[in-house]
Amino acid sequence: MSELHAILRRLGLDFAAGTPLPGAASDRFLPASSEVVTTEDPSTGARLADVALASSADYDALVDAARAAFPAWRDTPAPKRGALVRRLGELFREHKADLGELISLEVGKIRSEGEGEVQEMIDVCELAVGLSRQLTGLTIASERASHRMMEQWHPLGPVAIVTAFNFPMAVWAWNAALALVCGDPCVWKPSPLAPATAIALQGLCQRAMADVGASGVLNLAVGGAELGRRMAEDPRFPLVSFTGSVRAGRDVAARVAGRFGRSLLELGGNNAIIVLDDANLDLAVRAITFGAVGTAGQRCTTTRRLFVQRGVLPALLERLKRAYAKISSGDPRAPGVLLGPLVSAAAVRSFEQAVAAAVAQSGEIVTGGKVVARPGTSSSRRSCARRATIASPSRGKRPSRPSCTCSRWRASTRPSASTTR
């Protein structure tokens, strides 16, 4: 039995080995379609499983299930809706180790980050359960005697949730937990790079729904960009929550706005840290290293740029070199490893292109910047990359992730570091 199937079995999902995992589900998993996507271990490139994509008919069936569930779920008292979220949190806590291991296996996060992501799901469930008893509205004075006005918030309807690979579980939970207590069923399209994690969660969702007597409020449709575009344009979704790149977010926003729907967008970042001459360099190095190296530089909050005053730049770069030299890379589930793989071969190529572009713009590689060869992997699938610190690139286009560029400046006057934000 493969590692993936062993984890799924411990989660209560006993799929036959050698057959595609079903990628469409509501209260039950739908029969697998003929079109599949292969999910791989990014550490080695080894095939984990084939996953059947949701067909067009599957998608319509899942949206119809969410719409059919909406009237009863809307009329369910919010604290009782919170009971479903409470049960989800209990299951996540019970299976925290297995869910964290699955994240490490499929998307390459180190073990502590994988389990930390599961803890984020548990935390947001606790938050949402509390909110289920606090869905308040205003009481407003009226000019009419013996009258008052009351503000009441109503559920929107079925919500589309589209998530990215880098937080394959937590982002869904942030959306779904709050949507559920507000009375909104959910249809989730996960990243095609992380379908197994989504299937595992859907299995727990089915258990939770059965335990509290809910039906059709948590649904899963595995698919690619075309399915995401269809969800953005689907008038059956009054709200679409999308997590992904800025470019894709612009497209989603335009499609949703074109039908006067609402969108909730969590997109990419270009985050910078400013280091002034009187900064605490020990603190700065820890913050920069964590911000740049965590999740192999694949977070929207990843540190990508440093703005450093000239006076402190040599000392800071030297400390960063020493810090980076201590970072161990490799199998994300191995003890002591702090830098796991990039999620795919395409991500590795993007990394190499970014470093090359920085060098072409007169950047100097201070440390890192190379793909690491690991035993047992082919040259096309060597996915661990040494994070690069690149000093003083030109003012042109900045290299994309996962590299961290460092620009220097001289300031004759500046605010105190203690008051700078």
197-212: pLDDT as tens digits: 999 999 999 999 999 9
Average pLDDT of 75-90? 98
CA 241 to chain centre: 12
Q: Which residue has the tokens 């990039």?
A: 342
- Pairing verdict, β 271-275 and 148-150: unpaired
Query: Of all residues in the chain, what percent carry a pLDDT higher than 70?
Result: 89
- 315/317 Cα distance (integer angstroms): 6
Predicted local distance difference test score (pLDDT) of residue 262: 97
Q: Per-residue pLDDT tens for 274-302? A: 999 999 999 999 999 999 999 988 999 89
Predicted local distance difference test score (pLDDT) of residue 403: 63
Which range among 131-135, 202-206, 360-364 shows the weakest confidence by mean pLDDT?
A: 360-364
Contact in structure between 221 and 58 (CB atoms under 8 Å): yes
pLDDT over 80 (residue 389): no
Predicted local distance difference test score (pLDDT) of residue 379: 44
Which range among 197-201, 225-229, 293-297, 375-379 shows the weakest confidence by mean pLDDT?
A: 375-379
pLDDT over 60 (residue 383): no
Q: Per-residue pLDDT tens for 45-67? A: 999 999 999 999 999 999 999 99
pLDDT over 70 (residue 374): no
In the structure, what pLDDT confidence band is assigned to residue 410 with cuts at 50, 70 and 90?
low
In the structure, what pLDDT confidence band is assigned to residue 247 with cuts at 50, 70 and 90?
very high
Q: Per-residue pLDDT tens for 396-408? A: 444 444 567 766 6
- 389/123 Cα distance (integer angstroms): 34
> For residue 13, what are the CA distances in angstroms to 30, 124, 273?
14, 24, 44
The helix/strand/coil state of 201 is: helix
Contact in structure between 347 and 383 (CB atoms under 8 Å): yes
In the structure, what pLDDT confidence band is assigned to residue 387 with cuts at 50, 70 and 90?
low
Predicted local distance difference test score (pLDDT) of residue 380: 44
DSSP tag of 15: P
Its pTM stands at: 0.90
Which range among 10-24, 166-180, 369-383 shows the weakest confidence by mean pLDDT?
A: 369-383
Which residues have a catalytic role annotated? 266, 300
Q: What is the mean pLDDT of the chain?
A: 90
pLDDT over 60 (residue 415): no
Predicted local distance difference test score (pLDDT) of residue 411: 54
| Sheet hosting strand 218-221, strand order edge to edge | 24-25, 218-221, 186-189, 159-162, 239-243, 262-266
Average pLDDT of 374-396? 55
How many helices and strands (H and E) does the chain possess? Answer: 12, 17
Q: Which residue has the tokens 């589309």?
A: 160
Q: Per-residue pLDDT tens for 318-333? A: 999 999 999 998 899 9
Average pLDDT of 334-338? 92
What kind and span of H or E run contains 195? helix 195-212
The residue that leads in pLDDT, 339 or 374, is: 339
